[in-house]
């Protein structure tokens, strides 16, 4: 299964400059997702992080992973933000950064379901660049109905 940016926008409520998933290349409902983010020098955060040595902030790498998890969660339970649902990032454990993510990189986002129960999901996540580990984490998301 492949999702382009138009379908991704149906499954994520985020918009520029905070939509951090460009394409989904693999998705197995209830199990796993592989997606990517093309990192461009035009990203607004590079103006300040850091002007002479641009590096994607680690918290945004985690956010990109969480967004991929949100897509997997929404697909698994067959719901959409348009139905009044949202996935909140509620926790991260075992976070480790192994290499910086820089302009020109394609950040591959991988998440595998560890468990899901009553709208709380835990995922094993990895972000890589050219097969090299950039970040790994366990991410916890919660599905909530919003008004």
Q: Which residues are catalytic?
A: 49
Query: Residue 139 is part of a domain; what is its CATH number?
Result: 3.10.129.10
In the sheet that 23-28 helps form, which strands lie side by side, from edge to edge? 23-28, 32-38, 106-117, 120-129, 132-145, 85-97
61 belongs to a structural domain? yes
Q: Return d(Cα 54, Cα 61) in angstroms, integer.
A: 14
63 belongs to a structural domain? yes
132 belongs to a structural domain? yes
Q: Which domain holds residue 93?
A: 5-41+55-145
50 belongs to a structural domain? no
Number of domain units in the chain: 1
46 belongs to a structural domain? no
pLDDT-based confidence at 1, cuts 50/70/90?
A: low
In the predicted model, what is the mean pLDDT of residues 18-44?
A: 97
48 belongs to a structural domain? no
Mean pLDDT of the chain: 96
Instruction: Render pLDDT for 42-101 as a digit per residue (tens, 0 to 9).
Output: 999 999 999 899 999 999 999 999 999 999 999 999 999 999 999 999 999 999 999 999
């Amino acid at each position: 299964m492949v999702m382009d940016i138009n379908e991704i926008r149906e499954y994520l409520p985020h918009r520029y400059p905070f939509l951090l998933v460009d394409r989904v290349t693999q998705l197995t409902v209830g199990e796993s997702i592989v997606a990517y983010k093309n990192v461009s020098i035009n990203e607004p955060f590079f103006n300040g992080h850091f002007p002479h040595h641009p590096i994607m902030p680690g918290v945004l790498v985690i956010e990109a992973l969480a967004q991929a998890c949100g897509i997997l969660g929404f697909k698994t339970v067959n719901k959409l933000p348009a139905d009044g649902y949202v996935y909140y990032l509620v926790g991260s454990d075992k976070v480790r950064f192994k290499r910086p993510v820089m302009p020109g990189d394609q950040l591959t986002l991988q998440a595998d379901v560890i468990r899901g129960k009553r709208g709380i999901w835990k995922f094993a996540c990895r972000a890589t660049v050219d097969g090299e580990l950039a970040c790994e984490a366990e991410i916890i998301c919660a599905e909530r109905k919003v008004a």
